[in-house]
Amino acid sequence: MERRTLLPRRDFLALGAAATAAALLPGRAFADTPTGVKLHGLSAFGDLKYKSDFTHFDYVKVDAPQGGTFNFSPPNWGQNQSPQTFNTLNSFVPKGDSPQRMEMCFDSLMVRALDEPDAVYGLIADGVTISNDRNVFTFSLRPQARFHDGTPLTAEDAAFTFKLLKDKGHPDYALSLTHLEDAVAKDTHTVELTFDGKQSARTILNVVGFPILSKAFFTANPFDSSQLNPPLGSSAYKVGRWSAGAWIEYERVADYWGNDLPVNRGLNNFGRIRIEFYQDRTAGFEAFKKGEILYREEFTSRVWATAYDFPAFTAGKVIKHEFPAEITPSMQATAVNQRREQFKDPRVRQAIALCFDFEWTRRNFFYGSYERSQSCFEKSDFRASGMPTPQELALLEPLRDQLPPETFGEAVMQPPSDGSGRDRKQLSAALKLLAEAGWKRSGDFVLNEKGGRLTAEFLVDDETFVQVYSPWVANMKAIGIDASIRLVDSAQYQLRQSTFDFDLLSAAFNFSATPTRDDLEIFFHSRSAAVSGSRNLSGIASPAVDALIDAVGAAKDRESLTTAMRALDRALRARRDWIPSWYLANHRSAYWDMFGFPEQKPDFGFPVEALWWVDKGKAAKIGKA
């Protein structure tokens, strides 16, 4: 069972691209990418897979049929989007709740290939030239680029967008643009981005994936969450019909300007994409059983194990299938909010972690289907293990006096329990940690020197999590923590998360396969700790962590990147800012048997709504023609 899966920025718009111009030199790190020549793509390390004359991505079906409606429950989302409701159609600002998949309506300068870990290719831009000092990036824009109202998409729109997102955009955008000095339209089809030299060498790989907005639209309309007015887009889909908070439809743009670009071939096959919003998981599952929803990923283990016995499934009309997960680091964990005084001592955070009996939870709630997470970068080579290598120590030793001693030993692991649900040994260790941190048992509670109770409240927005976290809360109560669970509606949950108004909150995140400094700053850097809407839910503000993030940004090759990421993982795990919970190795997908999809799933993304198509023959057989 998962709380949510949030997209990193470079996955947010990775649904299409195109390419022309010269290829990068082989075997080069991004810092050695040639300057002064027009490039059709960029990659952090090594070759680009696709040369300038490629015709389509290898993971698509070029001649996939188009049309039909795809009703689905998106498994992931980003920025201010919500899976339960929406009250704005602006996905790019910190406040409000916007619908999932608004990103499908907006093109970006460049987009990712889903079968490469870090490559981006031109979409609105047909190429980019890097200055000799690597601080200025000049993009040539395709003259045929158009907004949905037929007006040209120009360099003025691009320059306007980057300034707007830096000043007023969601932190997922604004933080990456911190070191952007200027965005200038040199002429109608040339935009120049100038950085101050303090940016990471790979910052540009994030920035090129940001949506390009209409200057005319946001000059005439406020750039905030106050309106349910669809912003003017430019991509393969546009907002169609919708009912606020209930459902939204995205309609394929028949005369989309980028239809024939090489990397759009075989993508965006559905004529209409419809998303319906449900306040709880049970209602969503019932809609799927009836065929009102056609695709879903199952995040509730009990349902996956026991509830697929309804008529459509037994008749073979509905398929259960596990697709392999992406080769990208992920983190599902509980944030302990260090902005609260009672959680600043790491011993308190460790004590709370010891109260979570994963083995009991796995057996009783998860039907044995989840594995215990240990790392902030699970399912990747960035997960630290064993003792630090000499290369890791070279990064960690200068920070020894700022990091917990555990950083320099075996990588910190969450200890397995005896599976009883109330492991006396672990609860005793937790109580001892609280005592060492100044919390003394008095009656039913532990108190500080001022007589105040240690309180800890889980914030949740789904009844399922009340059930899962109740045994954890009971264990905390057993050692004297005044623990509780607060169930709130989606809008309040989103607001309290973005303003850091919580004690404990669980979330799931995916990182890109080649994390940049900007990716990590949003989650772990002191610069994001006080920025409303950032992903730094724990409130980490550590100069040592900042320095390790800088080391990630300075990595010149994948080997040094891996070293820096493992060192960072060691430090975060030793600090106990997040309590790792659990993870799945695969996508548990269920769908009505009316779709075609590529045989080979790409390793670095799984946008079903972009890759799949309606198979009319299959649809007819199950009465869905």
In this prediction, residue 33 has a pLDDT band, given cuts at 50, 70 and 90, of: confident
Q: What is the pLDDT of residue 306?
A: 94
What mean pLDDT comes out for the span 271-294? 93
Q: What is the pLDDT of residue 8?
A: 40
In this prediction, residue 22 has a pLDDT band, given cuts at 50, 70 and 90, of: very low
Asked if residue 417 lies in contact with residue 357, where contact means CB atoms within 8 angstroms, the answer is yes
Instruction: Give the residue among 295, 266, 205 at the shortest CA–CA distance from 16.
Output: 266
In this prediction, residue 7 has a pLDDT band, given cuts at 50, 70 and 90, of: very low
In this prediction, residue 514 has a pLDDT band, given cuts at 50, 70 and 90, of: very high
Does the predicted TM-score (pTM) go above 0.95?
no
Q: How far, in Å, CA of 602 to CA of 50, rounded?
A: 15
Q: What is the pLDDT of residue 585?
A: 84
Q: What is the pLDDT of residue 9?
A: 37
In this prediction, residue 251 has a pLDDT band, given cuts at 50, 70 and 90, of: very high
What would the pLDDT profile of 189-216 be if each residue is shown by its tens digit? 999 999 999 998 889 999 999 999 999 9
What mean pLDDT comes out for the span 291-298? 95
Please give the mean pLDDT across all residues of the chain.
Answer: 92
Q: Classify 330-347+358-415+457-584 by CATH class.
A: alpha beta
Q: What is the pLDDT of residue 30?
A: 60
3-state SS track over 431-468: HHHHHHCCCEEECCEEECCCCCECEEEEEECCHHHHHH
Judge whether residue 11 has pLDDT over 50: no
Asked if residue 223 lies in contact with residue 164, where contact means CB atoms within 8 angstroms, the answer is yes
Judge whether residue 28 has pLDDT over 80: no
Q: What is the pLDDT of residue 1?
A: 52
Judge whether residue 137 has pLDDT over 50: yes
What would the pLDDT profile of 211-238 be if each residue is shown by its tens digit? 999 999 999 999 999 889 999 999 999 9
What mean pLDDT comes out for the span 164-177? 95
Domain 66-252: which topology?
D-Maltodextrin-Binding Protein; domain 2 (3.40.190)
Q: What is the pLDDT of residue 281?
A: 84
Q: What is the pLDDT of residue 31?
A: 61
What string of DSSP letters covers 239-281?
EEEEETTTEEEEEE-TT-TTTTSGGGTT----SEEEEE--SSH
Tokens of residue 380, six digits = 């990747």
Question: Which part of the chain has CATH 3.40.190.10?
Answer: 66-252
Is 5 or 122 the better-scoring residue by pLDDT? 122
Judge whether residue 298 has pLDDT over 90: yes
Question: Which part of the chain has CATH 3.10.105.10?
Answer: 330-347+358-415+457-584
Q: What is the pLDDT of residue 227?
A: 86
What string of DSSP letters covers 305-362?
HHS--SHHHHTTSEEEEEEEPPSS-EEEEEEE-TTSGGG-SHHHHHHHHHT--HHHHH
What would the pLDDT profile of 36-48 be if each residue is shown by its tens digit? 999 999 998 868 9
Q: How many CA atoms lie within 13 A of 3 on its CB side?
A: 26
Q: What percent of the chain has pLDDT over 90?
A: 85
Judge whether residue 71 has pLDDT over 90: yes
